[in-house]
Amino acid sequence: MSDEHERTAGGAILLDGNRLRDEIVVQLRDEIAALGSPKVCLATVLVGGDKPSQIYVRMKQRKAEEAGLAPRHVELPETATQAEVETAVQALVDDPDVHGILVQLPLPDGLDPEPVLARIPPAKDVDGLTERSMGRLVRGLPGHVPCTPLGVMRLMERYGIETAGKRAVVVGRSTLVGLPQVLLLGRKGVDATVTLAHSRTSDLVEVCREADIIVAAAGQARMITADHVKPGAAVLDVGVSRTEAGIVGDVDFDAVQAVAGAITPMPGGTGPMTIGCLLQNTLAAARMLGAV
């Protein structure tokens, strides 16, 4: 890790997701321009009026435009039926001008996301969340990797955090983040030795203190304290909790940054990287489909 990077008050390198996402946007814009500016389409599907989902989808569309992609948006009311949602997604699947499809989760109560996601073929599944995409990740086959754990990997690459031969602990076992994160860290070429921990791990402090890399993704506000962190470890915070004090992560940032060697801010760390990797996956999808 070099000394050119911004540091926290405690001296930890700040893993700046906003900065890296913006670098990715510029890189994609240049790449698409060099290809002759083909229309690479990312379609987003939003059902209902959930405010955080609306904000997040708008941000994805805005960054897609900045990157030279051609975003398309499909919005359905809270009252949409299961069949209506599946029909809307199927229309995007069948459209050769659409290269990537993202269904914003969670869906409103009463709708089952699984049959909706199951309609998306692996090449267009830029979120990497269908069972076929997850199976490809497990099998080491080509496909799209879930954007949040991929964003964690991109941040570590960008800031020169060594993974080979290092011990990593992933706290959280969701299919969105925890499980794919374990697979990515243990992959050949990354070569970390990975432990999967969670809220029921009885000796969590001891397990985490052995780690050179901690990825906190349990969704429990400030559960990772300075006691959990070996001096000099890299700490990447994926958890998001809405509290009266605002949005906080799984990591007690102020305490941990005094001990860690590198740390993500919250917000501005892994969240922006999720969008950056979504845009990269969309260009990769267009390539898989032979559109560019």
Active site residues: 60, 104, 127
Q: Check if the beta carbon of residue 112 is closer than 8 Å to that of residue 267.
A: no
Q: Check if the beta carbon of residue 281 is closer than 8 Å to that of residue 31.
A: no
What are 256's two structure tokens?
A: 């941990």
Handedness of CA 56, 62, 64, 67 (dihedral sign): negative
Q: Check if the beta carbon of residue 272 is closer than 8 Å to that of residue 18.
A: yes
